[in-house]
Structure 1
């Protein structure tokens, strides 16, 4: 598990100072050496696992918004991400999220890649937290190429789809 955190790509000097110092060193590596990314927030799917039909009828499924981040592909071909987004939540109010992500990636025919991993975000929204930031670990999957990818994550019985383009 530790190999998937920013700690794993930190300089050895940072790692020797402890886990938090090493993780911060890895975050700096992603920021300094990674690609710039633009995020486009997409769509929510409120599953029947946590929402009634009446709830789903009154929620807005379009999480319009965007964000900025940095991503770095490591020597194994895995992707490490830093991101910050602002999108509308299911009640069309602002939702703020920032975090880190890690994806193991597998090459498919052509330039296509699929990925699976996780993200740990700090989220503040009107629904679940009344804008009090809280940590939200979540699974993360992707399909795309080096420049454009579609992502999906699952949290609080909601599937959330968004896209990223790197430049």
Structure 2
């Protein structure tokens, strides 16, 4: 049975997901009417008209830093920070050079149990140098997560910040999981993932 606080958390998450999806799908020009031209829909396309900027992505997870001020020394001794795993996705660069991506990942969580994630991410990309192709990105991801120690193992939605550094063929991605509940010693985790695009 859900408490009012739990119900409120679900409502906030649902509102954040709706807001994110609306913000990402909106275009600066109001005359675009074709939904198939939106970033998310273009990322999902697999037909022969798929643009060349749409790529397959391989993800490799490897490390998650747990904030030492959040977890006790006894907890940290039991926590697995080598979150080995991987996944598959698709990404697309738009006319502004920003990146839209869909992904599915499976990793070994901090308890050495399977954690599954699937979602959509959008990053605003900025060049670090005028030449060389090095760039960094900041954005948000809307995803569904399943792990055994949250919500009785049921999948739940989340909106998380993301950042990246690299080039168009390889990126180091970072995402931050905040401490969502003050009464639980969970959260304040920085996760790192490598992404290779083909």
Deviation at 1:136, TM superposition (A): 1.3
Aligned to 1:53: 73
In structure 1, C-alpha distance between the alignment counterparts of 2:27 and 2:76, rounded to whole Å: 41
- 3-state SS of 1:12 partner: coil
The match for 1:95 among 115, 119, 134 is 115
Deviation at 1:8, TM superposition (A): 4.3
Alignment map for 1:140-159 (pairs within 5 Å):
140-155=162-177, 156-159=187-190
8 Å contact kept, 2:64–2:82? yes
Aligned length: 158
In structure 1, C-alpha distance between the alignment counterparts of 2:137 and 2:70, rounded to whole Å: 26
| Structure 2 CA distance for partners of 1:2 and 1:138, relative to 1, 3 Å | closer
In structure 1, C-alpha distance between the alignment counterparts of 2:142 and 2:61, rounded to whole Å: 17
8 Å contact kept, 1:8–1:26? no
The match for 2:105 among 59, 76, 85 is 85
* Higher deviation after alignment, 106-115 or 126-135: 126-135
In structure 2, C-alpha distance between the alignment counterparts of 1:37 and 1:7, rounded to whole Å: 25
The match for 2:135 among 106, 109, 113 is 113
The match for 2:41 among 13, 18, 28 is 28
In structure 1, C-alpha distance between the alignment counterparts of 2:159 and 2:103, rounded to whole Å: 14
Aligned to 2:96: 76
8 Å contact kept, 1:37–1:68? yes
In structure 2, C-alpha distance between the alignment counterparts of 1:39 and 1:81, rounded to whole Å: 12
Deviation at 1:4, TM superposition (A): 5.1
The structure that has the greater radius of gyration is: 2
Aligned to 2:33: 12
Higher strand share: 1
The match for 1:40 among 60, 66, 69 is 60
| Structure 2 CA distance for partners of 1:138 and 1:130, relative to 1, 3 Å | same
* Higher deviation after alignment, 26-35 or 38-47: 26-35
Give the alignment's Cα RMSD to 1 decimal.
2.2
So what's the TM-score if we normalise by structure 1?
0.85
8 Å contact kept, 2:39–2:100? no
